A and B are shown apart, each in its own frame.
Chain A
Amino acid sequence: MIQFSYFMYLFLQFKINHYQLYNFKFDWIPGLKDSFHIAVDTMSLLPLLLVSLITVIVVLAASLIYEKRDSAYFGLIFLTIAGLNGFFMAQNPITFYLFFELTLIPVYFLVLKWGGPKRKKAVFTFFIYTVFGSFLLLAAIFYIYSFVGINLMTSWSFLYNNHFPVQHQYWMAIVFFIAFGIKAPVFPFHTWQVNLYEQADKPSVILIAALLSKMGVFGFLRFNFITQDVIPKLSFYLIVICVVGVVYGAVVAWRQTNLSRLLAYASMSHMSLLVAGTLTVYEEAYKGAIFQILAHGIAIAGLFFVADVFQRKTGSDNLDANSGMARVQPRFATYYFILVLAAIGLPLTSGFIGEFIMITNVTKFNKIAGAFAGLTIIYGAVYMLQCYQRSMFGKRHDERYQNFQLSLQEDYIFIVLTVLVIALGFFPSKWIDLTAYAIGQFGEYFKY
């Protein structure tokens, strides 16, 4: 089954990379023309690449834990992946919403069936939060349709050119912020995240952290232009909220003793920065955001895979449980270190480019907010290095990890991820060009 699904994935990727403007329309809803419309446009190309990549990693990581008879697990994983593919390809709001909801259900069951001891509460919180957000989104979409005419199924560019009444745009912008902010998650809506990341099994966490959280950012990229008249007025407040999230996540991450929880807060910090960047509605920030979606997805997937390896091989991903490992497992330590560096945003790793662009743009928008956001690199260095130090150096617990060896699959995953981290760090220009091409078509909507 695994072999087969892996083959299917390759086939899928082939299709994505070669039909660059793969286009599919379908009169889905009666009376609405072209109501189901997915296409690979330039904006969704990099996220789709990430989806394809993470699929392989999740399937490989899961196949280490689950036997072939757990076919339901892989079925749910692939349902999620299908939803994600559709989400990034969606060409009108209703298709977008359909897939936004669709990814939620398989993830719910993934965590409910295969999660840790306190999974029920964690996943239910997640579910309620996300359903609340997505129904708000649906309300906004209904409003859009009531405004542009109920039977006019619209494309994105049509909506961008359609200026809604300003006072309505205000609440639409807030609704979008809540809906996508929950998904990302941004500061006030993050409480579902930590427990879920801790309780869910690690392959699904890779899926959630690397892909599902990116859905929030991508939503901002798609929907910001609809409220383009008020975003410049509101964005100061929204960015302040995001920056609070950046600092808060970093500070809390510093005090964590469990790798999964630490990564959850770190991820929240980075995602808040990313959202803050997109809310500036600068062209540069958009380019950086798309790039950062890819870069952060790769880094966080690798780090959660590290947590997965810890949990599987030594039984715990608490930071202190495995200290002193670097001596015994140098190869693993190297992979881990490269991924940590990427998360910090060290120059010449993939993390640097994206974060740098984000921070410059937030600074351009507001110097003080930018200064606080800039702290994220320092904080990031503090908590990630401290985490690395505590988990790999220090007092040795040889009996815990003496016998473990990285299997071929694990090596493969780590090599792919670390090579990508370094490659994206060294040669970002090609990728940025690709995003520039994606953003170029929306040039007219950018205010600055």
Chain B
Amino acid sequence: MLTIIILTVAAVLILFLGFARQRGLILPVAMLALVASLVAMHYPEWTETSILTGMLHFDLTSFVLCILQFVFALCIIPFLHQFRQRGNEELGDITGLFLLALIGGMIMVSYQNFIMMFLGIEILSISMYVLAGADRRRITSNEAAIKYFIMGSFASAILLFGIGAIYASTGSLSFGNVLPGMDKFYQIGVLFVLSGLAFKIALVPFHFWAPDVYEGTPTIFTAIMSSIVKIAGFGALLQYLKLSSATLPEWVFWFLLLIALVTIVVGNIMAYNQTSVKRILAYSGIVQAGFILIAVLKITPQTEKILIYYLIAYGAASLITFLITHFVERQSGSDHLDSFGGLLKANPLLGILMIIALISLGGGPLTAGFMAKFLVLREAVGLGFLSLAFVALVAAVISVYYYFKIINAIASPSGDHSWSVSWRYNSVLLVLTLILILFGIAPSLVMMHI
């Protein structure tokens, strides 16, 4: 509860700071608020605790997912003022909305009934719609915001319709005491709720918004979408599947399996011919979401750990790639593959970190991505789906192709510019890379503590 209060107060304070034209104070206050809320989470009341009359409940998994979101947010906030090529008048609004989005993310991973689920998703989404259009003067950013908003609200409507259907057939908005009513209305409700959630995490066939929105949004917010929103989305999906596992119809398993398969295959095919790095990474995010979905097909304490592990591996790697893309875009004005040419020469550290992150996304050995993919595939084999594991493997091979397309561009000798970056930037990226490598070398040491 304390965390939510801190974040809300800080968000309002930051909004006022924005009005008062104290822009220098905004980011320090935001950092401070995040650190304070991280500390507040460590109060003993926080694990295994229910707040708001039991509407939010934090168990270990949601606790870890919250901390994960906060840590990634801490990595992004120092660069929020660079969201636009020139000028940052709306910094107060942007930062405040970002903190509010984090509250939405917190609710999404810990809700106990449909109302809070919908509330969390909406708090997160509405903030993200605004952030997508933050660069008002660029037409692509406006396009992204409109697309995201229209399709997102459509998905929210579907979700809401699903909730309504479930309420109509069971007479309750909470998961715990749902009667095992398996009538058609209930099943339609489940289908719609799942579709709404799948939209938020951009699973095929609900993925059409992702590449366009990722491309148009200012890159620093794309980083948020690809890490924090994905974590929150999967947290919500996990929470829903976990809470209503007793009453879910049987086809849900096959539905998710089918979606995972289609996501992995289609995402790969679409990523194949892209030339914009942000689009490639968007499709790569779709494919990775398909992999993560395999982990939640059957929920046990073990698979929850795997989910967390995969989210850490994917979130850290995609944060690195998007932050570096953000940097390259600021320098060269474009996120086309060609503008990455010579990055390794212009700034060797960034080049190497980007390569490591891409190798991790592709599942190269000794990085967290390898172990994440391995664990997920082992899970698939453990479920008895050797063929699913095989398709995923083939997809992983294909995905290596487009990751290496970016790596080739980075390593190509074209261009003779020299780019330097601030120490803040380097240190954040180094920490994230360290996470990737540490988790890749000694996953068991890390997983013991989750």
Which residues of A approach B to under 8 Å, CB–CB?
27-31, 94, 98-99, 101-102, 105, 108-109, 112-113, 120, 124, 127-128, 131-132, 135, 138-139, 142-143, 145-146, 150
Contacts and interface: CB of A to CB of B under 8 A. Distances in A.
B166 to A, nearest CB: 35
Contacts of B366: 98, 102
Nearest to A103: B365
Contact of A150 (B370, B381, B447): B381
Given A98-B366, A124-B404, A142 B444 contact: no
Which interface residue of B375, B400, B444 has the most chain A CB atoms within 10 A?
B444
Given A28-B442, A28-B444, A150 B375 contact: no
B393 interface: yes
A98 B365 contact: yes
A146 B381 contact: yes
Given A102-B366, A113-B411, A135 B305 contact: no
Contacts of B448: 30
Contact of B393 (A94, A102, A138): A138
A179 to B, nearest CB: 12
A150 B378 contact: yes
Contacts of A28: 442-444
Interface residues of B, number: 34
A411 B443 CA distance: 47
B382 interface: yes
- Prevailing SS type, chain B contact patch: helix
B386 A142 contact: yes
B381 A102 contact: no
Interface in B371-415: 371, 374-375, 377-378, 381-382, 384, 386, 389-390, 393-394, 396-397, 400-401, 404, 408, 411-412
Nearest to A72: B348
B443 A30 contact: yes
Contacts of B365: 98-99, 101-102, 105
Contacts of B359: 105
Nearest to B447: A30
Given A105-B359, A112-B411, A146-B381, 15 more contacts: A28-B444, A29-B374, A29-B375, A30-B444, A101-B364, A102-B366, A105-B364, A109-B411, A120-B412, A127-B404, A135-B394, A138-B393, A139-B389, A142-B393, A146-B382
Contacts of A30: 305, 375, 443-444, 447-448
B273 interface: no
Contacts of B411: 109, 112-113
B332 interface: no
A92 to B, nearest CB: 14
Contacts of B447: 30
B302 interface: yes
CB-CB nearest 4 A-B residue pairs? A30-B447, A101-B365, A146-B381, A30-B444
A146 B394 contact: no
B444 A29 contact: yes
Contacts of A102: 365-366
Interface string B329-365: 0000000000000000000000000010001000011
B426 to A, nearest CB: 18
B302 A135 contact: no
Contacts of B381: 142-143, 145-146, 150
9 contacts: A30-B305, A30-B444, A31-B444, A98-B366, A99-B365, A105-B359, A124-B408, A127-B400, A145-B381
Contacts of B374: 29, 94
A284 to B, nearest CB: 35
A112 B408 contact: yes
A64 to B, nearest CB: 23
Contacts of A145: 378, 381
Contacts of A150: 378, 381-382
A29 to B, nearest CB: 7
A159 B94 CA distance: 58
Contacts of A105: 359, 364-365
B26 to A, nearest CB: 40
Contacts of B444: 27-31
B342 to A, nearest CB: 12
Contacts of A135: 393-394, 396-397
A27 B390 CA distance: 26
Contacts of A109: 355, 411
B377 A142 contact: yes
A128 B401 contact: yes
Interface in B413-448: 442-444, 447-448
Nearest to A28: B444
A203 to B, nearest CB: 19
Nearest to A101: B365
A143 B386 contact: yes
Given A28-B443, A29-B444, A145-B378, A139 B371 contact: no
Contacts of B382: 146, 150
A15 to B, nearest CB: 21
Which interface residue of A27, A98, A139 has the most chain B CB atoms within 10 A?
A139
A150 B303 CA distance: 14
Nearest to B390: A139
A131 B394 CA distance: 10
A418 to B, nearest CB: 37
A139 B390 CA distance: 6
A98 B381 CA distance: 19
Nearest to B386: A146
A102 B444 CA distance: 20
A35 B375 CA distance: 13
Contact of A120 (B377, B390, B408): B408
Contact of A132 (B364, B378, B397): B397
A142 B302 contact: no
A29 B393 contact: no
A71 B302 CA distance: 42
A29 B408 contact: no
Nearest to A133: B397
A123 to B, nearest CB: 9
A124 B365 CA distance: 18
A107 to B, nearest CB: 13
A135 B373 CA distance: 12
A132 B399 CA distance: 12
Nearest to A83: B365
A286 to B, nearest CB: 28
B353 to A, nearest CB: 14
A96 to B, nearest CB: 11
A98 B363 CA distance: 11
A339 B357 CA distance: 43
Contacts of A94: 374
A94 B381 CA distance: 15
A30 B379 CA distance: 12
A57 to B, nearest CB: 26
Contacts of A127: 400, 404
A31 B401 CA distance: 31
A409 to B, nearest CB: 29
Interface string B233-259: 000000000000000000000000000
A108 B302 CA distance: 36
Contacts of A132: 397
Nearest to B394: A135
A27 B446 CA distance: 12
A73 to B, nearest CB: 13
A142 to B, nearest CB: 5
Contacts of B390: 139
